[in-house]
Structure 1
Amino acid sequence: MTQLRQERDLEPRSPHTRRHQRSWYFYDWANSAYVTTTSTVLFSPYLTAVATRAACPGLPSGGDCRTPLHVLGIPIAAGSLAPYTITVSTIVSAIVLLFIGAVADRSPRPTWLLGGFAWAGAVAASLMFFVAGTRWQLGVALLIVANLCLGASLIVYDALLIRISPPDDRDRVSSRGWALGYLGGGLLLALNLGLLSGYRHLGLSYELAIRVSLLSAGVWWFGFTLIPLLGLRDLRGTTATPVDRQAGVVGGSLEQLASTLRELRLYPQTLLFLLAYLFFNDGIQTVIGSSSLYGKQELGFSDSQLIITILLVQFVAFGGAVLFGRLAAGFGAWRVVLGSLVMWTAVVAFAFFVPAGAFTVWLVLAVLIGVVLGGSQALSRSLYSQLVPRGRESEFFSLYQAMERGTSWFGTLLFGLVYQFAHSYRWSIVALVVFFAVGGWLLSRVRMREGILAAGNAVPAVV
C-alpha cells in the first residue's frame, strides 16, 4: 500500500506534480546563465588574460608569456591557470559534496537548502566583477567557491527529480529541464553579446563590459532561483534516513555517509555507472569548459565570435535535448547515451583539425556539439536516477555531482598538463578522446535492469 501511495503521489498527470515539474525546470534556467556566460565563455580567457598581465607586465596582447606564476612556490604557466583552478575546485568538491549529500537527505526542507547553496554561489559569481588588473588570486578563489556552491545546489536539485517524476517519465522531465537551461543560458549570453559588441556606445571599456557580463550571470542565477524555491517549498525531507536525536543532523549525516560508502559495493551496477560517468563526463565538461580557451588562444577567434559560437551551441542543444529525450522513449536512455559517446569521440577528433581562423568550420563543429551535448547530459542524469535507492537520493547524487558539469578534474588536469609541456591546445583537446573511449566501454558493461532492481526501484518500460 505504501508503494502504491508513493506512485500516486508521483503521477505525472496530477496538477500538483505538474506544478512541481514546471518549478523544478527553472533551476536549470537559473544556473545555466552562470555555466554558459561565466564558466564556458568568458571567465577562463579573462582569468588567463589577468594572469598573463600579472606574470608578464607590458606584454602585447596575444603575446606568448613564458614567465610562470608562482602558486605556493609551484611554477604555473599563465595559460594553465584556468584549467588548474577548475581541477582544484573539483578536488575540493569531491570531498565536500559527499558530506553535503548526507546532510541534504536529512534536511526537513531540502528546497531551502537548494536556495541557500544557489544564492551563495550566485553571490560569488557576482563578485567576479571585481576581478580586475592583476587580481588573479581573487578570480581563482571566487571560481572555486562558485563551482562548489553550484555542485552543492545541484545535489539537492537532481535528487528532487526522483521526488517529482515516476521512472517512466524521468527521461522526459530531465530532458525538458536541460532544454530550458539551454534557452535561459543562451538568452543571457545573447544579451551579453550585444553588450560586448556595443560597449563603446555605452561608454565602457571592453574589460569593464566583460566584468558587467560576469555580474549579470550572478544576478540572473540569484533572481531566477526564486521560482523553484517558491514552487517546491511544500516538499519535505525524506523519512528513509531519520535523524538520530543524539547524533544530530551533522553527526548522523557523517555516520550515514560512512554507511553509504560501505553499502555502495552492494550496488555494483550503480558503482560501475559512476565509474563510467567519471570518465565520459570529464571529457564532456573539459570540452565545455575549455572550448573558449581553445577557440581564442589556439584558433584566434575574438570574444564576440566565441559568444556567437556558444549561442549556436545553446540553441541547437535545446533541440538536441528534446530529440534525445524522444529517442530514449523508443530505444532506451542507455543505448542513446552510448551512441552519444561515439559522437563525442568524433567531435573531439574533428576539433583537432579545425584550421586557425576558419570560423565557418568552427561553427559546423559547434552544431555537432550542440546536437550531442543536451541529450548526453540530460539522459545521464535520468539514467543514474534509476539506479539510486529510494530515500537516499541526495547521498547518491552527491557522488554523481562530484563528477558533474563544471567539476571535471581528470580532464582539466590532463588538458593543463598537455599544454604545460606541448604549448599547444590542439594536443590538449585531442587527448580527451581517451575519456570518451574508456567511459563508453565501461557504460556498455552496466546491466541496467539488474541495477534498477538491486536499488529497489521499478524498471521502466524501456531502459
Structure 2
Amino acid sequence: MTYGSLPENMNSAGESFETFTLVRKAKNNIKGWYFYSVASEPFAVSAVATYIPLLLEQFARINGVSVDDHSIKCTSKHDKCVLGLFNNSVYIDTSSFALYTFSISVLFQTLLVITVSGLVDVWKTVEFKRRVLIFFGVIGSLSLILISQLEVDQFYALPFLCIVANSSYGVVNVVGNSLLPVFVSDLIRVDPVQAHIDVDTLTSSVSGAGASSGYFSALVVQIISIGLVKKSKSHDNIQWATLFVGIWWIVWQSPIAWLLQDIGPTTTGQVLRPVRGEESAFKLQYLKYGWYSLFKALKHARLLRDVVIFLVSWFIISDSLTTINSTAILFSKTELKMSTLSLIIISILTMLNAILGAYFIPHYVSPKLKWSAQYTLIYIICWASVIPLYGMLGFYFENIGLKHQFEMYIMAVWYGISLGGLSAVSRSVFSQIIPKGRESTFFSLFSITDKGSSIVGPVLVGFLTDKTHNIRYSFYLLFALLMFSLPVLSMLDLARGKREAEELGRIESLNGEETL
C-alpha cells in the first residue's frame, strides 16, 4: 500500500458509510410514512365512517321528538324523528344532524388545511412537518377521547369535538400526503439499489402499500371494537370504540418522532426570508402564506390545466364516495334497523376489500390489463356507481334494491374494492402532475377537493332527507354525480400534465426565492 492510496481508501470508506447512513434515513422516512397511515387512517375509515355518524344520530334521537308530534319524545318505536335546535326554532331529521355536522367540520377543516399548508411550504424540513403531524395528531386523538366522555344531553358539544377532530385529521392527511413524493425521490436519489426504478412506479408502489397498511390498521381497530361494542344499542358502547380509536392514533404515531429525518437538500431549507426590522410582522404573515400559496397555485392553473381537470373530477368523485359511505351507514341504521355490531362487521368487510383493492388494482389488475392510471380511475368509478344504482332499484321492486340487511354486506364488499383502488391510484396520479417542491400547497388543493367536496354532498342529502324523511332519495343524487365525473376525468392527459408541472417549476426557479 502506497502513501497515496491510504486517503483514497479512507475516502471510499467514508463515502460508503455516508451512503449507508443516507439510505437508512431514506428507508426510515418511508417506514415513518407508513406509521402515519397506520395511526391516522382508523379515524377516517372507522371513526368518521362508522362511530361518529352513529353517535350523532343516536344523540339526536335520544334528545329528539316524533316528526308527527313534537310533544312526544322520540323512542325506538318511532321510525322518523327530528331534533329541535336553538330552543326548538329549527327541527332537522336525526339523520341530517350527522350529515350537517360532517359538512360543517369539513368546512373548518378546509380553512385550517389551507392555512397550515402554507407554513409547511415555508419550512421545507421534514423535522417541521414531523412536528405538525404529531401536534395535530395529538389534538385529534384527544378530541376523540373527550367524545367518549360526553353525556347524552351534551348534543352541542358532540358536533363541536367532531369538528375539531376532523379538522386535525385534515392537516395530518395533507402533510402526510405531501411527504410521499419527497420521500420517494430521496430514496431513489441516495439508494443505488433503487436508482434504476422509475419514480412513478415506486410512488405507486409506496402509495399502495401505505393505503393497504392504513386499511389494515383500521381493520384491526374494527375487530377489537367488536369486543367493545356489544349487541346492546347503548350509545356508551360506541363511545368506548371512539375512545379506542383516539388511543390508537396517539400511540401509533409515536414512531414518527424518531423515524422522520432530513436527509438532504431536497427536504431542507426555508423558502421565505423576513425583511430586516420587520420580523414581528413576518411571523403574522406566516399564517397568510397558505392563502398566498393557494392563490398563486390557482393563478398558475392556466399552466396546469391537467391539475385543474383532475381536481374538478376528483371533487365530484370524492364527494360522491364519501357521501355514499355516510348515507349507507345512516340508511342501514334508520331504514334497515341494523345493529351497531352489524354495522361494524360491514365496516370490517369494507376494510378487507379496501386493502385488496388498494394493493391488487395498481399492482396486478392495471398492469395485467394494461390500463393507464387515468383509465383505472374511470373503471373504478363505473364499478362504484353500481352501489347507488342498486339503491335506486328499491323504489321499483319489493325484494331487491337494499330492502334486506344481507344486501348491505354485499355492497360493503363492492364499495371496499372501489374505495381502496381509488385511494391508491388517485394520490399516485396527482403526485405525477404537480410541481416538485410545491407538494404541500398542491396537496392542500387535493385535500380541498378530496375532503372539502364533502361540504356539498352531505348538505344536499341532509336537505333531501329533511324534506322527504326518506334517505333513499339520495341514491339518485349520488349516481348522477358519479356519472357526471366520467366525461371530466376522460379529459385528463398525464403526459401533458407532467410537462406543465416541469414548466411551472422552471418558471419559479427563474423567479428565485419568494418573499411575502
- TM-score, reference length from structure 1: 0.89
Judge conservation of contact 2:26–2:263 (CA < 8 Å) in 1: no
Q: Hey, what's the Cα distance between the residues in 2 that align with 1:366 and 1:332?
A: 26
User: CA contact under 8 A between 1:338 and 1:443: conserved in structure 2?
Assistant: yes
The structural deviation recorded for 1:187 is 0.7
Could you tell me which residue of structure 1 aligns to residue 251 of structure 2?
A: 223
The counterpart of 1:365, out of the listed 408, 411, 418, is 411
Alignment-derived partner of residue 44 in structure 1: 53
Query: Which residue identity does 1:209 align to in structure 2?
Result: N
1:309-388 maps to which residues of 2 (within 5 A)?
A: 309-326=346-363, 327-329=365-367, 330-352=370-392, 353=394, 354=400, 358-388=404-434
For residue 291 of structure 1, report the CA deviation from its aligned partner: 2.3
Deviation at 1:301, TM superposition (A): 1.1
Whether the aligned pair in 2 keeps the contact of 1:320 and 1:370 (CA below 8 Å) is yes
CA RMSD of aligned residues (A): 2.7
Separation in 2, partners of 1:331, 1:17:
30
* More off after superposition, 243-252 vs 150-159: 243-252
Matches of 2:82 and 2:356 in 1, distance apart? 44
Measured against aligned partners, the alpha-carbon deviations of 1:400-440 in whole angstroms (never above 9, x if no partner) come to 11232586122111211111112111111332012211222
Distance 2:105 2:500 in 1: 33
Contact 1:121–1:145 under 8 Å retained in 2: yes
CA distance in 2: counterparts of 1:36 and 1:268, whole angstroms: 32
In structure 1, how many angstroms separate the alpha carbons of the residues matched to 2:52 and 2:74? Answer: 20
Give the Cα–Cα distance (whole angstroms) in 1 for the partners of residues 249 and 452 of structure 2.
Answer: 15
- 2:46 counterpart of 1:34: no
Change (3 A) 1:457 1:322: farther
Residue of 465, 482, 492 corresponding to 1:419: 465
Instruction: Single out whichever of 393-402 and 243-252 deviates more from structure 2.
Output: 243-252
Q: Give how far 1:90 is off.
A: 1.7
Match in the other structure for 2:271: 242
Secondary structure in structure 2 of the residue aligned to 1:69: strand
3-state SS of paired residue (1:76): strand
- State whether structure 2 residue 316 is matched by structure 1 residue 270: no
| Correspondence for 1:148 among 167, 178, 203 | 167
Separation in 1 of the partners of 2:289 and 2:340? 49
Q: Relative to 1, partners in 2 of residues 1:372 and 1:300: Cα closer, same or farther, differing over 3 Å?
A: same
Shift of 1:266: 2.3
Q: How does 1:9-24 map to 2 (within 5 A)?
A: 14-24=23-33
| 2:121 and 2:441 in contact (8 A); partners too | yes
Q: Which stretch shifts more, 40-49 or 406-415?
A: 406-415
Deviations for 1:329-358, whole angstroms, at most 9, x for unmatched residues? 442221111100001111221234455662
Distance 1:153 1:347 in 2: 30
Which residue of 1 is the match for residue 455 of structure 2? 409
Residue 71 of structure 1: how far off its partner (Å): 4.6
Q: Please tell me whether the aligned partners of residues 147 and 406 of structure 1 are also in contact (alpha carbons under 8 angstroms).
A: no
Report deviation, 1:19.
Answer: 2.8
Cα distance between partner residues in 2 of 1:129 and 1:120: 15
CA distance in 1 between partners of 2:411 and 2:452 (Å): 21
Q: 1:307 aligns with which of 333, 344, 351?
A: 344
Seen in structure 2, the aligned counterparts of structure 1 residues 181 and 410 have a Cα distance that, compared at 3 Å, is same
Instruction: Give the residue type in structure 2 aligned to 1:213.
Output: A
Name whichever of 299-308 and 48-57 sits farther off.
48-57
Partner residue, 1:393: 439
Structure 1 counterpart of 2:293 = 256
TM-score (norm 2): 0.80
Distance (Å, rounded) in 2 between the aligned partners of 1:253 and 1:59: 46
Q: Distance in 2 between matches of 1:371 and 1:258?
A: 36
Task: Encode CA deviations 1:310-339: one digit per residue, 9 max, x unaligned.
Answer: 111111211111111213444222111110
Matched-pair contact (CA < 8 Å) for 1:195–1:209: yes
DSSP 3-state at the match of 2:454:
coil
Instruction: Name the structure 2 match of 1:60.
Output: 75
Deviation at 1:210, TM superposition (A): 1.5
> Residue 4 of structure 1 aligns with which residue?
none
| Aligned partner (choices 286, 309, 323) of residue 323 of structure 2 | 286
Question: Aligned with 2:151: secondary structure?
Answer: coil
Corresponding letter in the other structure for 1:343 = W
Q: Are the counterparts in 2 of residues 104 and 394 from structure 1 also a CA contact under 8 Å? A: yes
1:454 aligns with 2:500: yes
In 2 relative to 1, CA 406–320 (structure 1 residues): closer, same or farther, beyond 3 Å?
farther
Match of 2:140? Answer: 121
Change (3 A) 1:168 1:424: same
Q: Quick check: which has more Rg, 1 or 2?
A: 2
Asked whether the equivalents of residues 69 and 77 of structure 1 are also in contact (C-alpha less than 8 Å), the reply is no
Aligned equivalents of 1:404, 1:288: Cα separation in 2? 14
Secondary structure of the residue that 1:197 maps to in structure 2?
coil
1:233-277 CA-to-partner distances (Å, cap 9, x unmatched) read: 336885687112133433555543432332233211101111110
**Residue 217 and residue 366 in structure 1: after superposition, are their counterparts in 2 closer, same or farther (change >3 A)?**
same
Report if aligned partners of 2:391, 2:401 keep a CA contact under 8 Å in 1: no
| Equivalent position of 2:95 in the other structure | 79
User: SS at 2:449's partner residue?
Assistant: coil
In structure 1, the partner of 2:115 is: 99
State, as a whole percentage, how many aligned pairs show the same letter.
23
**3-state SS of paired residue (1:342):** helix
**Aligned mates of 1:106, 1:123 — CA distance in 2:** 28
Q: Which runs of 5+ in 2 are unaligned?
A: 1-17, 66-71, 185-198, 276-281, 395-399, 505-516
Q: d(CA) in 2 for partners of 1:276 and 1:71?
A: 37
The worse-fitting range, judged by mean Cα deviation, of 301-310 and 129-138 is 129-138
Secondary structure of 1:61 counterpart: coil
Structure 1 unaligned blocks of 5 or more = 1-8, 200-204, 459-463
Higher mean C-alpha deviation, range 363-372 or range 148-157: 363-372
Distance 1:241 1:332 in 2: 37
* Amino acid in the other structure paired with 1:325: P
1:232: which partner in 2? 260
**1:101 & 1:86 partners in 2: Cα distance?**
22
- CA gap of 1:407–1:289, structure 2 versus 1, over 3 A, is farther
Q: Is residue 2:251 matched to residue 1:214?
A: no
CA distance in 1, matches of 2:403, 2:109: 37
Q: Secondary structure at the match of 1:130?
A: coil
CA contact (8 A) 1:97 1:151 kept: yes
Larger CA deviation: 330-339 vs 226-235 = 226-235
Letter in 2 for 1:99: T
